[in-house]
Amino acid sequence: MNAIADKYADQDVGSIFLYTHEAHPGENYPHHTSFEQKLSQAKDLQTVYGVTRTIVADSLDGACHRRFGTMPNMTWIVNKAGTPLYKSDWTDSESVENALIYFLNVEERRRGRHRLAPFRVERLDYREQNREGFDKGLLKSGPKALREFNEAFE
């Protein structure tokens, strides 16, 4: 997602990372008990996970997360007028970039005086699963996170 944000920044596309909560808390990154702790863990996203986009921390009670849906890894694309253009219950960079290309093309077509009418679409996308990489990420939170995740699927 960092690469996509960088690639489209010159086309007036902004990107933020909304830090809601630890989806898989562990010894290194436990469940939040204070906003100060949450901010500290959000800052670690930059160094530990290499997030280069602006990070915004949700309130301790997760009000923003509840407002936009409670899935653990959502992506929204919203235009300047605040209209949601894309909503995915899982972040997949290929799907997000596909949508960005489409919506940037819509803007270009409008500038070319094409008369366009919006309509809603629902589709099923597919993403690559990398269990080894996922487990490696869980271990950054601590062995507890990996153990609890695996126990949930036994």
Identify whether 141 is part of a domain: no
Identify whether 64 is part of a domain: yes
Domains contained in the chain, number: 1
Q: What is the mean pLDDT of residues 120-131?
A: 93
Identify whether 142 is part of a domain: no
- Local confidence band at 153 (pLDDT 50, 70, 90 cut-offs): confident
Residue-number span of the structural domain to which 79 is assigned: 2-128
The enclosing domain of 10 has a CATH number of 3.40.30
Distances (CA, A) of 128 to 24, 90, 105, 134: 20, 12, 26, 11
Identify whether 153 is part of a domain: no
pTM: 0.88
pLDDT of residue 125: 94
Mean pLDDT (the chain) is: 95
pLDDT of residue 72: 86
Which residue's entry shows tokens 């153990």? 147
Q: What is the mean pLDDT of residues 144-151?
A: 94
Identify whether 36 is part of a domain: yes
Identify whether 28 is part of a domain: yes
Identify whether 137 is part of a domain: no
